[in-house]
Amino acid sequence: MSVRRVRTEHAREPQKAAAAAAAGASAVPPGLNSPRGGSLRERHYSNAAEFHNGGRQRRFSAAIVARRESLFGGAGGSSGAGTPMDAAIRRPSLAAVAERGSWGSRWEFLLSCVGLSVGIGNVWRFPYLAYQNGGGAFLIPYLIMMALAGKPMYFLELAMGQFGGVGPLAMWNCCPIAKGVGCAMVTVSLVVCIYYNVIMSYTVYYMVASFAKEVPWAKCDPAWANMTTCYTRTAGSDGANGTNVTTAGKETASLQYWERHVLHLSDGIENLGPVKGDLAACLLFSWCIVVLCLVKGIKTSGKVVYFAATFPYVILFTLLVTGLCQEGAWNGVRYFIMPTWNKLLDIQVWQAAAGQMFFSLSVSMGGLIMYSSYNDFRNNVYRDALVVSVMDTLTSIISGTVTFSILGAMAHDLNVPIQEVVKEGPGLAFVAYPEALLRLPMPQVWAILFFLMLFVLGLDSEFALLENVLTSISDEFTVLRSHKLMFCIGTALVCYVIGLSCVTYGGNYVLTLMDVYGGGIAVLFIAIVECCSLVWIYGLRRLCSDLEFMLGYKPGFYWRITWGFFAPVILTVIFVYSLVDYKPLRYEQYDYPDWADVLGWMLALASMIQIPFWAVVQTMRQKGPTFKEKIIQALVPNDDWGPSDLSLTAEYRASQKDSPASLALNSVVHHNGK
């Protein structure tokens, strides 16, 4: 069907709708007590009054039915696209929307978003990056990047998810050619979901070990330690006199406990070795908790977040007060916040700030779209986006203050430079922190609370990652909604089996590979295409018009300029710089073999390649005699795009009918279709 014919058919829909509504009025028998919802062909009414009072919605539904039949085939229509698969992925009816569920309250949504954005990385990654990249000076590029790219992208994803009321797969009905972006998001969520739970299993292991009379990393144990190189860092002990422990060939008890006992770390990814039984059990426990919390989707996870999103703050503030009371704590805080102004001229500092900001907010992974899709259509998502982005930044700063107050006290006790007690990534959470906790009163209690906090922080993020996969697939294949429990268990079981590769003797090398490639490089590429597709193809004017319909006001100049220019430019610069500055993967002193880097790039491409692949597929599915017209059709929103509530969709179509903003792209389509 040509573009001009599509537009002509659209203009005739009101007449078709009236005829269909008149025909349907005599066909609907009164007294049927079926559930409300569905299109005109599906919905039944309890009495004649209800039927006649729904006139406007019925007329619109009839128009949509006629439109779908003309495009996809139906009774007497073309059967070319009317396959069971096509039927399975069409827009949900009102009954399906009700079946999909919604948040019990606004607080459930807000706390879930806080839990997703505030994760383990806020505790172990942000403090180290801030220290490494100029301390207080690092906060300047971090806040600038947050304002120009992080906050705008966060608001954009929440707004689009709430507007469409669907997950990251079905959301791309707004721009069919970018369907692969949603598929890539789900793929990345699945990859991150697998290895993130492994990190949570580490916290379970440490938490259980902390119930001992004495925490096991407090001293060197011949059962796991190399007694010739292991030592305990206490005042007056070997290695506590300021000498370089690496040069001296010595390792702390906490480091050897982590590498030799918890991980049983092999010499490289080439030597994975057997699965470590105790870690496999902790991983199974972690997956069981996740499944139990998601057994009814957001209906259960929404209740859990009241504890999961608030408990970490209780522990953080308790540790903050306790840490600042330790002698030497303020020296550590000074290291954290003291600006090194010349660092502002280093592009790597800006790249590190942008990367941390971006991944901390968890944008372009689909979780935000999925969470906001369960919102009420008129929810003030603008306010929620501001609250969560500010909370994420404040939490990172508080975590940094807590971390360096404790590490400063530790450095003071040992009489060593603070650089010697600072570790990056997992080394901070599972080596430096456990050792620092030994210097607090009742270290067992503090260790239990600390690792419980890490587990809960991870649990919040894991909810979103797994639920994003489940919701997205269920939105496409709605039959899975009636088998939610089995679908959730089956997905978790597959993830658990794959995750066992991360709890082998060489599993930490696998985890690092998945983190860098599967959850790092790929997400940046997805974000660039996502932003450009929504702002430059769907259209900034149409996007603002949609948000005005939903929120009651148009986004201001700040949002328009950041969406249209700063966010895509900044993301592109980060991505290009990451490629130019690319170095083969390295884990401490270990260099990954070339085949491992190739495997990592294949993992990254597994998600990125879906964007061009589905662009071609969606283009070929369009109606049109020429490939050019198919491309043009793939740039225009599907008829299924709009608010999930059909009554709101009717109002939306009416409000957009004569809007120049909403028809801007269609004008281009019409011009090219001549």
Quick: pLDDT tens for 68-91: 343 333 333 333 334 433 433 344
User: Residue holding tokens 């992208």?
Assistant: 153
- Asked if 375 contacts 544 with a C-beta cutoff of 8 angstroms, the reply is no
Ramachandran region of residue 425, left (φ > 0), alpha (ψ -120 to 50) or beta?
A: left
pLDDT greater at residue 537 or residue 337: 537
Q: Does 115 belong to an annotated binding site?
A: yes
Instruction: Please report, for the chain, the start and end positions of each structural domain, with discontinuous segments joined by +.
Output: 3-88+612-672, 105-608
Quick: pLDDT tens for 473-506: 888 888 888 888 899 999 999 999 999 999 999 9
Q: What is the pLDDT of residue 187?
A: 94
Tokens matching residue 115: 């839990």
Phi then psi dihedrals of residue 296, to 5 deg = -120, 30
Q: What is the pLDDT of residue 235?
A: 52
Distances (CA, A) of 146 to 131, 248, 353: 19, 42, 9
- Asked if 169 contacts 489 with a C-beta cutoff of 8 angstroms, the reply is no
Q: Does 472 belong to an annotated binding site?
A: no
- Asked if 554 contacts 545 with a C-beta cutoff of 8 angstroms, the reply is yes
- Asked if 113 contacts 384 with a C-beta cutoff of 8 angstroms, the reply is yes
Model confidence at 657, pLDDT cuts 50, 70, 90, reads low
Phi then psi dihedrals of residue 125, to 5 deg = -100, -45
Of 163, 105, 176, nearest in space to 644 by CA: 163
Alpha-carbon gap, residue 398 to 385, rounded angstroms? 20
Grouping H, G, I as helix, E, B as strand and the rest as coil, residue 501 is: helix
Buried b (16+ CB within 10 A) or exposed e, 184-223: bbbbbbbbbbbbbbbbbbbbbbbbebbeeeebbbbebbee
Evaluate if residue 210 carries a pLDDT over 70.
yes
Quick: pLDDT tens for 212-264: 989 999 999 999 998 898 988 765 444 443 444 443 567 889 889 999 999 99
- Asked if 137 contacts 131 with a C-beta cutoff of 8 angstroms, the reply is no
Mean predicted confidence (pLDDT) in 366-370: 91
Q: Does 268 belong to an annotated binding site?
A: no
Tokens matching residue 666: 């269609």
Q: What is the pLDDT of residue 447?
A: 93
Label residue 473 exposed, middle or buried (CB < 10 Å: 0-12, 13-18, 19+).
Answer: middle
Evaluate if residue 608 carries a pLDDT over 90.
yes
Mean predicted confidence (pLDDT) in 138-155: 91
> Mean pLDDT over all residues of the chain?
80
Highest mean pLDDT among 25-34, 624-633, 642-651: 624-633
- Asked if 189 contacts 465 with a C-beta cutoff of 8 angstroms, the reply is yes
Tokens matching residue 434: 């456990």
Model confidence at 322, pLDDT cuts 50, 70, 90, reads confident
Evaluate if residue 269 carries a pLDDT over 90.
yes
Q: What is the pLDDT of residue 670?
A: 44
For helices 106-117 and 298-308, the axis angle rounded to 10 degrees is: 70
Residue 281's identity, in one-letter code, is: A
Tokens matching residue 56: 């406007």
Ramachandran region of residue 366, left (φ > 0), alpha (ψ -120 to 50) or beta?
A: left
Quick: pLDDT tens for 16-28: 444 444 444 444 3
Alpha-carbon gap, residue 388 to 361, rounded angstroms? 9
Q: Does 239 belong to an annotated binding site?
A: no
Evaluate if residue 127 carries a pLDDT over 90.
no
Q: Does 122 belong to an annotated binding site?
A: yes
pLDDT greater at residue 438 or residue 48: 438
Element (DSSP H or E) covering residue 573: helix 567-580
Mean predicted confidence (pLDDT) in 334-351: 85
Quick: pLDDT tens for 583-604: 899 888 889 999 999 999 999 9
Q: Does 457 belong to an annotated binding site?
A: yes
Q: What is the pLDDT of residue 20?
A: 45
Q: What is the pLDDT of residue 193?
A: 94
DSSP code at position 673: T
For helices 443-476 and 179-209, the axis angle rounded to 10 degrees is: 160
Q: Does 545 belong to an annotated binding site?
A: no
Highest mean pLDDT among 2-11, 116-125, 543-552: 543-552
Alpha-carbon gap, residue 395 to 317, rounded angstroms? 10
State the fold for domain 105-608.
Hydantoin permease (1.10.4160)
Q: What is the pLDDT of residue 440?
A: 82
Tokens matching residue 238: 């070997």
Integer-rounded Cα radius of gyration of the chain: 27
Tokens matching residue 424: 């990056």
Of 518, 134, 499, 525, nearest in space to 338 by CA: 134
Q: What is the pLDDT of residue 577?
A: 87
For helices 277-293 and 443-476, the axis angle rounded to 10 degrees is: 60
Model confidence at 100, pLDDT cuts 50, 70, 90, reads low
Label residue 621 exposed, middle or buried (CB < 10 Å: 0-12, 13-18, 19+).
Answer: middle
Quick: pLDDT tens for 511-530: 999 988 987 788 889 999 99
Model confidence at 282, pLDDT cuts 50, 70, 90, reads very high
Phi then psi dihedrals of residue 252, to 5 deg = -70, 160
